[in-house]
């Protein structure tokens, strides 16, 4: 195991930047570890703004143009569930400007584009729903509509999309990753031996390794969170590098 980024607590999401380094969300959205820069240098793309209801940022993803999409938090999720303070979904354009592309998100989580980039999936955990938006050419979004409601399995968290357009969703407290086809029909589940499934991503040379992140909730005190790997039949979509100017 190797430490890539030090001194960064409360990470919500990560993506590779085209200039090297990682885009990381949490208390802000920032790029760290750019090639040719001091490893400790932080290039902030978007600050938090508590006076306007933004205390931090959670999951993020990148479209085929290199634009960054990230959800904001109006409360500290580990401390509160203040549903009177919904968050927003931002698009950070290539020139570094940010705009709101969706709002009224109670607890923003997983984000992922369909294979052709025409749809954006977005988990709103406190609504027990993965929503889907149509994506316009300029990166703005159409009205959201329900894609999958997970009430029977709890609340959706992180998600990932494969090359066939299936949406894989982490279902905390269940030990399950649900696999839903493009119509929203559940076709399969992946079970791990701990309950708190929180996030997932594809990797490996053939993109058929599914990495599943777990939390420590529900485990003995001497057993912490972990990362599991499952082999899947359908390769996952690679997330493009972020090309936002720094």
| Catalytic-labelled residue, pool 49, 157, 162, 222 | 157
CA distance 160 to 69: 14
Closest CA to 202 of 181, 233, 244, 171: 233
Closest CA to 132 of 155, 161, 154, 152: 161
Say whether 157 counts as a known binding-site residue.
yes
Q: Got the DSSP string for 181-194?
A: -TTS-EEEEEE-SS
Say whether 58 counts as a known binding-site residue.
yes
Please say if 49 is a catalytic residue: no
- Say which DSSP state 240 is in: P
Closest CA to 157 of 119, 122, 187: 122
Could you give the residue numbers annotated as active site? Answer: 157
Give the residue numbers of the binding site.
58, 109, 157
Give the residue numbers of the binding site for substrate.
58
Give the residue numbers of the binding site for a divalent metal cation.
109, 157
């Amino acid at each position: 195991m190797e430490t890539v980024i030090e001194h960064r607590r409360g990470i919500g999401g990560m993506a590779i930047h085209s200039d090297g380094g990682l885009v990381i969300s949490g208390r802000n959205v920032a790029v760290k570890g750019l090639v040719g820069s001091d490893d400790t240098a932080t290039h902030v793309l978007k600050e938090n703004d508590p006076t306007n209801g933004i205390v931090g940022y959670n999951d993020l993803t990148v479209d085929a143009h290199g634009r960054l999409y990230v959800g904001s938090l109006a409360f500290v999720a580990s401390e509160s569930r203040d549903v009177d303070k919904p968050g927003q979904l931002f698009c950070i354009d290539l020139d570094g400007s940010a705009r709101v592309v969706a709002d009224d998100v109670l607890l923003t989580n997983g984000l992922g584009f369909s294979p052709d980039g025409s749809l954006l999936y977005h988990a709103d955990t406190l609504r027990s729903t993965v929503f889907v938006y149509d994506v316009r050419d300029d990166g703005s979004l159409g009205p959201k509509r329900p894609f999958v409601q997970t009430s029977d399995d709890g609340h959706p968290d992180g998600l990932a999309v494969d090359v066939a357009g299936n949406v894989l969703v982490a279902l905390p407290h269940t030990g399950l990753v649900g696999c839903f086809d493009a119509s929203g029909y559940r076709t399969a589940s992946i079970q791990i031996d701990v309950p708190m499934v929180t996030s997932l991503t594809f990797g490996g040379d053939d993109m058929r390794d599914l990495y599943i992140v777990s939390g420590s909730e529900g485990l003995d005190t001497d057993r912490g969170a972990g990362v599991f790997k499952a082999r899947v039949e359908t390769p996952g979509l690679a997330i493009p590098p972020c090309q936002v100017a720094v």
